[in-house]
Amino acid sequence: MEDAPLLSIQQIGKTFSNGTVALRGMTMDIKQGSFVSLLGPSGCGKSTVLKIIAGLGNLTTGRVDWPTSTVDRLGRPDCEISFVFQEPTLMQWATVFENVWLPLRLKGISREDAKERVEEALDMVGLHDFAASYPRELSGGMKMRVSIARALITRPKLLLMDEPFAALDEITRFKLNNDLLDLWEKFNWTVIFVTHSVFESAYLSSRIVVMAARPGRVVEDIDVAAPYPRDDAFRTSTAYNGYCREASSALHSAMDTGDHL
Amino acid sequence: MAEAAIEEVEIDEVEMRKAQALKREKIGRWLLPLIVIVLTIFAWDRFCVWNEIPHYIIPRPGQVLEALINDRVILIGSLGTTLVITFSALAIAIVGGVGLAVLFAQSKWIEMTFFPYAVVLQVTPIIAIAPLIFIYVDSKFAGLLICAWIVAFFPILSNTTLGLNSADHNLRDMMKLYGASRWQTLRYLRLPAALPYFLGGLKIAGGLSLIGAIVAEFVAGSSGFGSGLAFRILEASYRLKMPRMFAAILLISIAGVLIFMFMSFLSWFFLHKWHESAIKREI
């Protein structure tokens, strides 16, 4: 089972009741420990794929298999999955500590028992001194860090990220990109990262899956062989430019083949 | 930044003017209404004196104050009665309003089924329903309570329902992802999200429960349970005791204002740390 993928998406399709085909016949394996970007124009079903993997939406056709995990009656795997949304999605009324504590709190772990892990998670995203702050007191980048800390606290095996940095300024985004890569290497997560930025996907991922819209489907699967750790020097390297060009042209052809745009 | 703190900090003129304007505004907020009320009382007094208006038509302010002091035992007692009804009704309105809202939030079907009836109850004037209630309900206290409750519970119900339904959808998804139970979602997400809406409803309901109590007293008359301020107003009008009538009205207004201020304080107390409405803007 060494090489079995963490999850295997088999011919999944999703059609909404109004007839919109969000996804059609999408098949893909996600290897354990890989960093996969789903890249595509808006409306190509990237976010729908994430929601389906997270068990937040049902399928019209196909199935999602978890070869290395035990699956419950509803088809949910026993491995920890965390989700990071495009917005920080914090509880405004709760402190940073309480926001990060939430996933553990839902499992019945008390504030005292969770304290160490919450502080550890806040340390990892560099927010140790802000445990008592309220979300409104933080900048956009810091809020996103809290959101990431909350995703880390359950020690997830699979991290699903839905355009998490799209709303941030470039400087903050680059910084968070690097921090995310550091954490990913350290904890050996599997990350599925939805983005509409060619550059972000080329910088972060070990694999870029380019999707087309109407119906949502995979049009190109690019292996990004550049070694990790990657740093800002990688952003200006020839190899990086090559991947960007490849992803970009795949994206353009994806947009040309859409039924109507 | 540290250097700037030690050096003489220069503040530009616009900022300076802004600060001064803010200070003036702070004083004006209290002073202006105060001046108006003093002038109004003075004008009222002069109006009565110059036109030789008898006290059984319009009493002079001094006479109202006199009535307030001389009849204090009766008036305070009646105020107590009215306030007991007001606060009991408000308490039931909170329990009933929030309870129903939580029930509505559990299922769209329940909300769809029962919400129209809440609206019907709200839009039918209480003064029209009250006589019926006093025919069917033997206890006058219970009758008064029901009337005040009908008036007060709707803003709490409708606001809390809106609040419970306005919890962030992504957060709801997250709760689901982490396997939160219905109760956990309610407690950690939907109830806190509804708090600002609930407090907004409470501010309206506080005043309405006083209005409901007074209106119900008018309909109920004096039999049975103690006599509230509305009864004192009726009684004083029959006997042409205008100063006492004015004094009773004054007490009702003051009670209403105090209730509103208390609700505003509650709202500030629960929201000032995190909610936009209670946060001072810095720029």
Break chain B into its structural domains and give their ranges: 11-50, 61-278
At the fourth CATH level, the homologous superfamily of domain B61-278 is: MetI-like (1.10.3720.10)
What is the rounded average pLDDT for all residues in chain A? 87
Percent of chain A clearing pLDDT 70 (strictly above): 97
Beta bridge partners of A192: A36, A160
Nearest-angstrom CA–CA distance, A53 and A47: 10
Nearest to B176 among A56, A85, A91 (CB): A56
For A139, half-sphere exposure in the C-beta direction (CA atoms, 13 angstrom radius) is: 7
Nearest-angstrom CA–CA distance, A1 and B135: 79
Q: What integer pLDDT is reported at residue B279 of this predicted model? A: 67
Nearest-angstrom CA–CA distance, B91 and A70: 50
Are A34 and A224 spatial neighbours (Cβ–Cβ below 8 Å)? no
CATH entry 3.30.365.10 includes domain A1-79+161-172+192-239:
no
Nearest to A93 among B175, B180, B195 (CB): B195
3-state secondary structure of A75: coil
Nearest-angstrom CA–CA distance, A158 and B102: 35
CA-closest candidate to residue A82, choices A197, A202, A190, A10: A190
Q: What integer pLDDT is reported at residue B1 of this predicted model? A: 42
Q: What integer pLDDT is reported at residue B281 of this predicted model? A: 60
Is B177–A102 a contact, with Cβ atoms under 8 angstroms apart?
no
- Structure confidence at residue A1 as a pLDDT band (50, 70, 90): very low
Tens place of pLDDT for every residue, chain B, 283 residues?
A: 444 455 667 778 888 888 888 898 889 889 999 999 999 999 999 999 999 999 889 999 999 999 999 999 999 999 999 999 999 999 999 999 999 999 998 888 998 998 899 889 889 998 898 889 989 988 888 999 999 999 999 999 999 999 999 999 999 999 988 888 999 999 999 999 999 999 999 999 999 999 999 998 888 875 556 688 998 898 888 888 999 999 999 999 999 999 999 999 999 999 988 887 766 665 5
Task: Measure Cα distances from B59 to A1, B243, B248 in Å.
Answer: 96, 6, 13
Q: What integer pLDDT is reported at residue B4 of this predicted model? A: 45
Q: What integer pLDDT is reported at residue A37 of this predicted model? A: 93
Percent of chain A clearing pLDDT 90 (strictly above): 33
Is A92–B188 a contact, with Cβ atoms under 8 angstroms apart?
no
Are A162 and A194 spatial neighbours (Cβ–Cβ below 8 Å)? yes
Identify which has the larger pLDDT, A43 or A211: A211
Q: For residue A148, what are the contacts with CB-CB under 8 A and spacing of at least 6?
A: A84, A125, A164, A176, A180, A183
b/e burial code for range B235-273 (CB count within 10 A of at least 16 → b): bbeeeebbbbbbbbeebbeebbeebeeebeeebeebbee
Task: Tell me the average pLDDT across A110-136.
Answer: 91
- DSSP secondary structure code for residue A57 in this structure: S
Task: Tell me the average pLDDT across A212-236.
Answer: 85
| Residue where the block lists tokens 């998490």 | A164
Q: What integer pLDDT is reported at residue B155 of this predicted model? A: 93
**Taking phi first (over 0 means left), then psi (-120 to 50 degrees means alpha), and beta for anything else, what does residue B124 get?**
beta
Backbone angles phi, psi at A252, to 5 degrees: -65, -45
Angle at A74 between CA A70 and CA A80, to 5 degrees: 50
**Exposed (0-12), middle (13-18) or buried (19+): which is B16, by Cβ within 10 Å?**
exposed
Is pLDDT at A11 greater than 60 in this prediction? yes
CA-closest candidate to residue B125, choices B219, B224, B59: B219
3-state secondary structure of A229: coil
Is pLDDT at A156 greater than 60 in this prediction? yes
Beta bridge partners of A21: A15
Nearest to A56 among B173, B195, B275 (CB): B173
Backbone angles phi, psi at B24, to 5 degrees: -60, -40
CA-closest candidate to residue A97, choices A159, A152, A150, A176: A150
Nearest-angstrom CA–CA distance, B143 and A84: 54
Chain A partners within 8 Å of B174 (Cβ): 83, 85, 89
Q: How far is A258 from chain B (nearest CA, A)?
A: 29
Is pLDDT at A77 greater than 50 in this prediction? yes
Chain A partners within 8 Å of B180 (Cβ): 106
Q: What integer pLDDT is reported at residue A162 of this predicted model? A: 92
Q: What integer pLDDT is reported at residue A70 of this predicted model? A: 80
Is pLDDT at A93 greater than 60 in this prediction? yes
Q: What integer pLDDT is reported at residue B32 of this predicted model? A: 93
Backbone angles phi, psi at A41, to 5 degrees: -70, 165
Is A102–B279 a contact, with Cβ atoms under 8 angstroms apart?
no
Nearest-angstrom CA–CA distance, B100 and B92: 12
